[in-house]
């Protein structure tokens, strides 16, 4: 009978973290002090879109709409126009709807809980997990 090797989770974690420290791309939404809203927007923009196309549009959005309330106060059409060529413009509409829901239901903040994130328009399991982590 062959034995199954045991997995040392602490060793695995340290190796993954070491690799990340050496190889992670420097993206603005990974910087210290990034808000949950900035992470949320980056996750929605990054769905099926290469990050080199996301970053400049994300920077423009964060200057124009630094909070969910700022986006919710503007028109959905402006969100679609500012989406530019990221593809799947319906994501811009869902992001606007999510910002509106955050203002209406969460005091203008990105909800912290996984279930509350899943309840937002356009948010699936992956995005909810990425934002809540």
Q: Kindly list the catalytic residues.
A: 43
Kindly compute the dihedral angle of the four CA atoms of residues 33, 38, 40, 42, in this order, to the nearest 10 degrees: -110
Assess contact for 26 and 39: CB atoms under 8 A.
Answer: no
How many Å apart are CA 104 and CA 56, to the nearest integer? 29
In degrees and rounded to multiples of 5, residue 35 shows phi and psi of -85, 160
Query: What DSSP state is assigned to residue 30?
Result: G
Of 49, 61, 46, which is closest to residue 99 (Cα–Cα)? Answer: 61
């Amino acid at each position: 009978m062959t034995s199954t090797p045991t997995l040392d989770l602490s060793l695995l974690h340290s190796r993954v973290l070491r690799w990340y420290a050496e190889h992670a791309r420097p993206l603005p939404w990974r910087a210290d002090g990034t808000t949950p809203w900035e992470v949320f927007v980056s996750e929605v923009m990054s769905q099926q879109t290469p990050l080199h196309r996301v970053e400049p549009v994300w920077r423009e959005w964060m200057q124009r709409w630094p909070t969910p309330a700022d986006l919710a106060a503007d028109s959905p059409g402006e969100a679609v126009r500012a989406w530019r060529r990221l593809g799947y413009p319906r994501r811009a509409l869902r992001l606007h709807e999510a910002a509106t829901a955050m203002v209406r239901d969460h005091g203008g903040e990105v909800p912290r809980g996984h279930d509350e994130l899943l309840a937002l328009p356009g948010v699936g399991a992956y995005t909810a997990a990425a934002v809540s982590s």
